Structure 1
Amino acid sequence: MRAPLVLVTAAAIAGLSACTDQGAGSDIDTGDFGNATMNNTLAMTSARDLAIDLSHRFAAEVPSTINFAFNSAELDGAARATLREQARWISQYPDLKFRVYGHTDKVGSDRYNKRLGLRRANVAVDYLVTQGIPRRQLEAVVSFGETQPLIVTEGRERQNRRTVTEVSGFLRRPASLLDGKYALFTYSEYVTSATEPHELVLVDKQGGAEER
């Protein structure tokens, strides 16, 4: 197919010429204006996307939730076992930050439940620290109290009495996002995506499509 012919009028040429004339501010833009902002944005976006990917991997590979008895912030055997699994995973990524969110059921006042949720988050963090995780990697500053139930009920519900551990970002941006374990993670994601079944669609010259 022949490329469309573009006609440029004399007036348009004159307008373009005027843009190249020296005038007020014409020597300010050297062609790289905004590059610093663009580079920073790309770097931060890459780190953000990697943190999101690692967050999904954490949730897929490790139980992220522990539960509590009614009106309690004490860890039972199952909770401690889950936190030990979390600690083993977290120890692989010393530059990652994690948040532990505390939740309660609907029984009790909102003020009391927020305090209880925060106590639960702090207990979980304290236990992770005993497993060798540096406290600087962990935050227990957010408590949703009773406001985000898994099971909507006004009564007692164990599934709502929980803490949830999530990846929240990096302590510092890695010197190279493709370095060490982060490169291995990225590589494994590439291999997975390459081996997943894909649907081949052939398009003929008439615009029809055939699936294989």
Structure 2
Amino acid sequence: MTRSLLIAGLAAATLTLGACASKPKTLPPEPGPAASNSYQGSTAATPAGPVAGSQADFIASVMSDTVNFDTDRYNIDAADQGILQSQAQWLGRYPNKSITIEGHADERGTRDYNIALGERRANSAKNYLVSVGIDPARINVVSYGKERPIAIGSDEESWARNRRAVTVTVN
């Protein structure tokens, strides 16, 4: 009987070890042109660029999202008109999109003065877009004054970069 138990134990151990033995692992193919064609997953095409109508699409499609201004000014010059015209064309392609135009100022001047100046800058950009046919209900304006600089520094180059109106898509 002892011999039968010994044989049964050896058989059980052999089966257990056999079940635990690792199977040979297959590694994925090396990356490269041939490997990318062998993928059997989803057949949906991946977009080559940003999602149509997104903020990234807006940035990629327009001349610029930013209009810059001279010191204490909020007038739209010829260069600004070109930028805003390209924004108007993009908005024409996406009639359900709304935008916010953010007005900014440099660090000089009081907080209240710069908030008012930023608002005048944002409204100047809005008024131009409205003049070329964009529905004013699609455009919100906000002024950050000197609270959100993109260039840190107390020099003319930094100040010039901070005097701006920036267009941001909302929906």
Given the two structures, how large is their TM-score scaled by the length of structure 2?
A: 0.66
Q: Which residue of 2 aligns with 1:96?
A: 97
Contact 1:105 1:155 in 2 (8 A): no
- Asked if 1:73 is matched to 2:86, the reply is no
**Residue type of the alignment partner of 2:95:** P
Task: Identify the residue that residue 165 of structure 1 maps to in structure 2.
Answer: 167
CA deviation string 1:6-25 (max 9, x = no partner): xxxxxxxxxxxxxxxxxxxx
Task: State the AA in 2 paired with 1:164.
Answer: V
Q: Which residue of 1 aligns with 2:143?
A: 143
Please report how far the alpha carbon of residue 75 of structure 1 lies from its aligned counterpart in structure 2 after TM superposition: 1.0
CA distance in 1 between partners of 2:68 and 2:145 (Å):
14
Residues of 1 paired with 2:155 and 2:123: CA distance?
A: 24
AA aligned opposite 2:54: L
Q: For residues 152 and 80 of structure 1, what CA distance do their matches in structure 2 show? A: 27
4+ residue runs over 6 A deviation: none
Asked if structure 2 preserves the Cα contact closer than 8 Å seen for 1:67 and 1:158, the reply is yes
What is the CA deviation profile of residues 27-75 of structure 1, one whole-angstrom value per residue up to 9, with x for unaligned ones?
Answer: xxxxxxxxxxxxxxxxxxxxxxx79x61111012211001001001111
Show structure 2 runs of 5+ residues with no match: 1-18, 20-50
What's 1:152 paired with?
152
Q: Percent identity?
A: 35
Q: In structure 1, give the amino acid aligned to 2:150.
A: L
Mapped partners of 2:153, 2:115: distance in 1:
17
Change (3 A) 1:155 1:110: farther
Counterpart position of 1:208: none
Q: Give the total of aligned pairs.
A: 119
Matching residue's letter, 2:114: N
Deviations 1:124-152 (A, max 9, x none): 00000011101111111x11110111111
- For residue 143 of structure 1, what is the amino acid of its counterpart? S
Match for 2:56: what amino acid? H
Instruction: Please report the TM-score for the alignment, with normalisation by the length of structure 1.
Output: 0.53
Higher RCO structure (Cα 8 Å, ≥6 apart) = 2
Bigger radius of gyration: 2
Amino acid at match of 2:57: R
Query: Which residue does the alignment assign to 1:61?
Result: 61
Residue aligning to 1:129? 130
- Is it true that 1:107 corresponds to 2:112 in the alignment? no
